[in-house]
Amino acid sequence: MLRRTSSGLCTFLWIVSAAGCAQPPSQELDMAAARVEVARASEAALFAAELLASAEAALAEARRLAEEEKAYRSAILVAGEAVERADEAFRQSTRTKRVVTIKLRHCLGELQGLISIARSRGATPEELAPFELRYQGVRTLGESGDLLAAIAEAEAFKPELLLFEQRFRETKSARGP
């Protein structure tokens, strides 16, 4: 909370100090554009799309106010809004990406566990090969940074692997310990 308040206070002070200028707010627009780029680089388009779109819209409006209307004070205020929205998009994207990464690790652990159980209950290497290959595909997607596709693939794959593992659970219980 303190961090958000101090960030807002800094932005406010920056806006107030710049508001008295009668020249184009080039620095303010450049700063807002840089913060929007940082948000984009954090994959905000994927993990915080609405906030990023709002920051981009505010930046575009600030540029329009400065260039077309020569309303420099208004442009500075709107550029400050763009900075705040871009910063929030960055924070949300970072948090969401962290949660998705944890979820993917959990899914991979479950899949690996099911493969191991099937192996321990008598699944042959030939029977396991397609599942291990698909598991590696999910891992590769995650390692390449395509986290959402990796999770989608893992979640689509898990029911098939559960059925496969269940088959060996039933076979082993029919044979006894």
User: Which of 20 and 38 is assigned the larger pLDDT?
Assistant: 38
Average pLDDT over the chain reads 89
**Do 91 and 12 belong together in one domain?**
yes
pLDDT of residue 177: 53
Residue 1 has pLDDT above 50, yes or no: no
Judge contact between 66 and 25, C-beta under 8 A.
yes
pLDDT of residue 176: 53
Give the count of domains, the chain: 2
Q: Which of 53, 79, 95 is the last residue of a domain?
A: 95
Among 109, 127, 130, residue whose Cα is nearest residue 167: 127
Residue 155 has pLDDT above 60, yes or no: yes
Q: Which of 95, 124, 139 is the last residue of a domain?
A: 95
Q: Which of 67, 95, 123 is the last residue of a domain?
A: 95
**Do 124 and 85 belong together in one domain?**
no
| pTM exceeds 0.95 for this model | no
**Do 12 and 86 belong together in one domain?**
yes
d(CA 79, CA 14): 11
> Which residues form the domain of 39?
2-95
Phi/psi-derived region of residue 123, left when phi > 0, alpha when psi is between -120 and 50, beta in every other case: beta
